[in-house]
Structure 1
């Protein structure tokens, strides 16, 4: 934010709650391989990033973070979901046939409650 720049009004509690529901649903749809379900949760032009990459835009990139094409099917087990305003953080464990990793996803919620952005982080100490 630039000095003097006006920050948009914060989302209402109702929009934030809808965003939390959409984040939780995104993992259910990802685990079931329901790409159409995932797409229904995305804002028109979502943004995505995964360190050390720079954020990119577009629905295909968000889908690639949440349900990578060609990846082994897995199961997300959320241990914590934290929300404030237009941000939802989800922390948990992803288990596939090949690996088990801890992750943290940081979602940006659009004014309509849909997923407008996603950044994924993996634990360096996962088993």
Structure 2
């Protein structure tokens, strides 16, 4: 009988929930230009962990957040009328932002 080597355990629900709070704060800090606040949410050495700023003075409007383990997915709109996005965040074991990838749904 072969045994499978288990990978790292996923973060606890408390860590995932903390990561969701950090994601929400990241959009607030990004939209208000608070770079120090934004930096305080990043895992040490994180690269590409910040969502793109809204162009032309727009803001992020979150429509839905889905979180599981070390992954947080945000669906939203850039307002006013600048298009839709999906951001996929990766969390550290402590719930800090480690990575972010944006998918654009285009302009309306």
Unaligned runs of 5+ in 2: none
Q: TM-score, normalised by structure 2?
A: 0.86
Is the counterpart of residue 74 in structure 1 residue 58 in structure 2?
Answer: yes
Name the residue aligned to 1:39: 39
Displacement of 1:45 after TM fit? 1.7
**Any runs of at least 4 consecutive aligned residues in structure 1 with deviations exceeding 4 A, and if so which?**
none
Report SS of the residue matched to 2:103.
strand
Distance 2:52 2:70 in 1: 19
Q: 1:117 matched to which residue of 2?
A: 99
Count the aligned residue pairs. 105
TM-score scaled by length of structure 1: 0.74
SS, match of residue 45 in structure 2: strand
What SS is found at the alignment partner of 1:7? coil
- 1:48-85 CA-to-partner distances (Å, cap 9, x unmatched) read 3xxxxxxxxxxxxx34x4337xx532211110000000
- CA RMSD, aligned part only? 1.9
Aligned-partner Cα distance in 1 for 2:52–2:42: 11
Is the 8 Å Cα contact of residues 58 and 82 (structure 2) preserved in structure 1?
A: no
* 1:5, distance to aligned residue in structure 2 (A): 6.0
Unmatched tracts of structure 1, length 5 or more: 49-61
